[in-house]
Structures are given as C-alpha cells and as structure tokens.
Amino acid sequence: MSEHIDITDANFETEVLESQIPVLLDFWASWCGPCKMIGPFIEQLASEYSGRVKVGKVNVDEAGEISSSHGIVSIPTLVVYKNGQIVNQAVGAFPKQSIEALFKDFLD
C-alpha cells in the first residue's frame, strides 16, 4: 500500500504549505526513466517515516502550476519543505540514503 500523497495544484497549499511536519516532494513523470529508478526508494521512505515526514509526488505533466512555480526544468527533482518554506532540494536520481539525508536534519 502506498503511503505517499499525490500533490496537485488544488491540494498543494493544504498538504504542503500548511503541513505540520516536513514534506518531501518528488517531481516526476511517467515517461522519466530516472524517476522510475528512485520511485521504490520514495515509497520505502514514505512508509518508514509515516507520521514524521509527509511524502508527496507531483506529476509534472498534471500539476503544471506547481511545477512552473518551482522552476522545474529537470526531473526527478526532490524538494523538502518545513513550515511552508523550502529548506532543501536536489535534482537527479540518488540512492535511498542520499534522499533520506535531504530531510533527516529537519525532523523534530
């Protein structure tokens, strides 16, 4: 069972900006090979950190407003939010430990 949340233009403010816990956003697309490579890591982290980190997936083909406002030009792009602010981000495919390192310092 998936633990991630599909982030859309409609729920971005509620799920990300107003979140009480850190949020890891994965900007991806179904046609993106590197996105498919890190997908299982994203799902594992969503499960392992359930309740401590919110994991959201943003399909760049469907959430154009969010993608545009974040200046997404390459995917996968990972963005970490805390208290409604971007606190970390990375572009590219990374091993699970590197993805985890993006948000670990921001856990309460």
Q: Which domains does the chain have, with CATH numbers?
A: 5-104 (3.40.30.10)
Query: Catalytic residue at 72?
Result: no
Mean pLDDT of the chain: 95
State pLDDT tens for residues 57-100. Answer: 999 999 999 999 999 999 999 999 999 999 999 999 999 999 99
Check if the beta carbon of residue 56 is closer than 8 Å to that of residue 16.
Answer: yes
Question: Active site residue: 5, 7, 16, 35, which one?
Answer: 35
Cβ-based burial of 9 (10 A; exposed 0-12, middle 13-18, buried ≥19): middle
Query: Catalytic residue at 32?
Result: yes
Q: What percent of the chain has pLDDT over 70?
A: 98
The helices-and-strands tally (H runs, E runs) of the chain is 4, 5
What does pTM read for this prediction? 0.94
Spatial separation of the C-alpha atoms in residues 76 and 81, rounded to whole Å: 16
Q: What DSSP string describes 36-79?
A: HHHHHHHHHHHHHTTTTSEEEEEETTT-HHHHHHTT--SSSEEE
Helix (H, G, I), strand (E, B) or coil at 106: coil
Instruction: Work out the number of other CB atoms within 10 angstroms of the CB of residue 83.
Output: 12
Question: Active site residue: 5, 24, 32, 63, which one?
Answer: 32
Structure tokens at 62: 């469907």
